[in-house]
Amino acid sequence: MPSTPVTLARTHLPNAVRRARHAASGAENLLQRALVSAGARQSEARIAADAQDYWQRPADATWRGNSHWRDAPVFGDSDLWNRLGTEHLAMFDAGARMCGFDRPWQRVLEWGCGGGANAVHFAPRATEFVGVDISPETLVECEKQVGAVCDTPVRSIAIDVADPESAVPRIGGPCDVFLSFYVFELVPTPEYGERLLRIAHDVLAPGGLALIQVKYSDGRWRTRSRRRAYRRGLAEMTTYPIDEFWRIAQRCGFAPQAVQLVPRNELDERYAYFFLRREPVAG
């Protein structure tokens, strides 16, 4: 699945326009949450269908920005696109040292590889890079970006939102590293996110390490999972209390190692990065 939508609240827009858009977005978010509180929650199947429709239909510059394509106007002439992957690689390396994860990277899998902002930094360290996404066009873009920086083979897997488990037999074996950035807030529901965690556990080799980013709820009503109107609130669909996601990961078989919080960055706010280990085989 593609990465989180990139906010347009940057220097590309006049201050008055940014404030107006922010206010409109906030009002829309409150309206949708009020509808959910009144009982108008949409089913996971309905939200999944809306998500499938959105990500499989490349449309305009906003769509490319939401998918983290390098040429999206939102990235402009800045180095933000490159810094996304640079910072995530540095974070992974620091977490790997802390967790004692020092094995060679044979296979790296990124769930929701988008336009390759992370792949171009992780793929050169791997024997094979596996990219999973909803959009075939985005997978092609990711392959193109990786091919521009290294000769690591890329295995691209397009999935249907309603059936993420179908990716497992096509992955072609265990992976040493599992990555997912700016994806879990875009999935239909928290329960769907648990399905992805089980997939991550299943495809990781024993002793493998996952780095998964979620948007966390801080207890306020407006930070809970949205559960309706996918197109109008992509990055607010699913959130987790930090301790809850830790417990869900344990329920899926992981041994959580650490969590790093980023209250705000250039893209959005309330990010939590979980380092999750699949325990090695005893003996």
The enclosing domain of 196 has a CATH number of: 3.40.50.150
The C-alpha angle with vertex 11 and arms to 8 and 14, in degrees rounded to 5, equals 85
Whole-number percent of the chain with pLDDT over 90: 75
Instruction: Give me the mean pLDDT over the 213-229 stretch.
Output: 93
Amino acid 11: pLDDT: 40
Instruction: Give me the mean pLDDT over the 129-141 stretch.
Output: 97
Amino acid 91: pLDDT: 98
pLDDT surpassing 50 at residue 10:
no
DSSP per-residue letters across 213-272: EEEBP-S-GGGS---S-GGG-GGGS--B-HHHHHHHHHHTT-EEEEEEEEEE-SS-EEEE
Weakest mean pLDDT among 34-43, 156-165, 225-234: 34-43
Q: Which amino acid is at 163?
A: D
**In angstroms, what CA-CA distances link 221 with 8, 15, 22, 33, 150?**
24, 28, 18, 8, 45
In sequence order, the 6+-apart residues with CB closer than 8 A to the CB of 217 are 223, 224, 225, 239, 240, 241, 270
Distance CA 104, CA 86 (A): 19
pLDDT surpassing 80 at residue 33:
no
- Residue that wins the pLDDT comparison between 170 and 59: 170
252-259 contacts, C-beta under 8 A, 24 or more apart: 252/194, 252/197, 252/198, 252/200, 252/201, 253/198, 253/201, 253/278, 254/197, 254/200, 254/201, 254/210, 254/278, 255/279, 257/95, 257/98, 257/99, 257/209, 258/95, 258/98, 258/99
15 — pLDDT class (breaks 50, 70, 90): low
The answer to the question of residue 4 being in a domain is: no
Q: For the whole model, what pTM was predicted? A: 0.90
The answer to the question of residue 1 being in a domain is: no
The answer to the question of residue 111 being in a domain is: yes
The answer to the question of residue 282 being in a domain is: no
The answer to the question of residue 2 being in a domain is: no
Number of domains in the chain: 1
Q: Whole domain around residue 106: which residue ranges?
A: 15-277
The answer to the question of residue 270 being in a domain is: yes
The answer to the question of residue 7 being in a domain is: no
Instruction: Give me the mean pLDDT over the 104-110 stretch.
Output: 96
Amino acid 221: pLDDT: 87
Amino acid 7: pLDDT: 44
Amino acid 29: pLDDT: 74
23 — pLDDT class (breaks 50, 70, 90): low
Q: What is the end-to-end Cα distance of the chain in Å, rounded? A: 37
The answer to the question of residue 121 being in a domain is: yes
Tell me whether residue 143 is exposed, middle or buried, using C-beta atoms within 10 angstroms of its C-beta: 0 to 12, 13 to 18, 19 or more: buried
Mean pLDDT of the chain: 90
In sequence order, the 6+-apart residues with CB closer than 8 A to the CB of 83 are none
pLDDT tens-place string over residues 65-106 = 999 999 998 888 889 999 999 999 999 999 999 999 999 999
